[in-house]
Amino acid sequence: MSVKRKQIRKIGILTGGGDCPGLNAVIRVVTKAAITQLGLEVIGIEDGFLGLIRNRMHPLGLDDVSNILTVGGTILGTSNDADPIRFAVGRDEHGKPLFENVTDRVVEHVADRGLDAIVAVGGDGTMTGAANLIERGIAVVGVPKTIDNDLMHTDITFGFSTAVQTAVECLDRIHTTASSHHRVMIVELMGRNAGWLTLHAGLAAGADVVLIPEIPYDVDVVCEKCLERSKRGKRFTLIAVSEGAMPKGGKQVVDRVVHESPDPIRLGGISAVLSREIAQKTHLETRATILGHVQRGGAPVATDRVLAMRFGHKAIQLVAMHEWNNIVVMQGGETTFVPITSVAGQQRLVPIDDPLIAMARSVETCMGD
């Protein structure tokens, strides 16, 4: 969306939500291109929206972003429980969190710092927060990131390829242990309600069973696969399961609820549940491993470094063109943009007719149905 042009002198950049490899690559290219090509001042907003709420920001210069391309995480910090519309400000006498809409405070801080626009790097939650700022007249350019690869209207997000590679390396290691000990080994991966990470990593690692949220599983079908392999002399089974997977007619396993967070449900533990059920039904020795945050950490692979830089460079082009309130996306191998409001609060799930699922079935990978 184009708006009336005004002279842009200073922009802010924030990284919101969960961390992922490639964030520093975006910060680097945005800062360098903004300073050297557009002559802008760049302000780093600390800890995502929390920095806007608490007025924690600092200038970013060329030296500040030197040698960070290969570094994982984010030099600005991040937060996934700081929603200006619903910000936790304390607890009542019963211990329940109290919330307040502090958007007015954010608008004041943006004005006080003289920010003409904000580059917001994050997933659907961050874009939901960005959409709120847009409604208050703040110019925003979005950059998509998530290891879950579940943002709408983009073919891929940076962080995903690194997470897949990390998960595959872990699956490969567990594969050898499964073979040595003749066990059913279950590995739980991240992804929330989307199965992209588990599907890609499971296929790349040659998992015998891949369970994703989009295809509710039948535990008896999974057990039959394990027993069939045992009868054929394959005395082990490797299972990749998404944290959001669920049995037919059942529910997702919730690890905990963080009431102060904009996304309070924390999934986790399906691997332990599945392990107990398989062991009881098949009498095969079964073990469960939760990869957890190891999937989000570490240096980005080359693919994510380049992708993050492409996204960051496109974001600065949008700033230069005054194409505010849009998010950079990758479509058909080219960077383009769509309105932030079209991706806010949504998730891109794996289609049931996705070619990868058909390919998985063709090589006898059990999808649990």
CA distances from 82 to 95, 101, 283, 289, 365 (A): 19, 11, 46, 30, 41
CA distances from 309 to 32, 33, 59, 207 (A): 11, 11, 21, 32
148 is catalytic: yes
Cβ distance 122 to 79 under 8 Å? no
Between the two ends of the chain, the Cα-to-Cα distance in Å is 44
The residue whose two tokens read 């998509």 is 144
Cβ distance 278 to 247 under 8 Å? no
CA 74 to chain centre: 14
Q: Of 19, 124, 148, 208, which one is the catalytic site residue?
A: 148
Concatenated DSSP letters of 285-313: -EEEEE-GGGGT-SPPPHHHHHHHHHHHH
Catalytic residues: 148
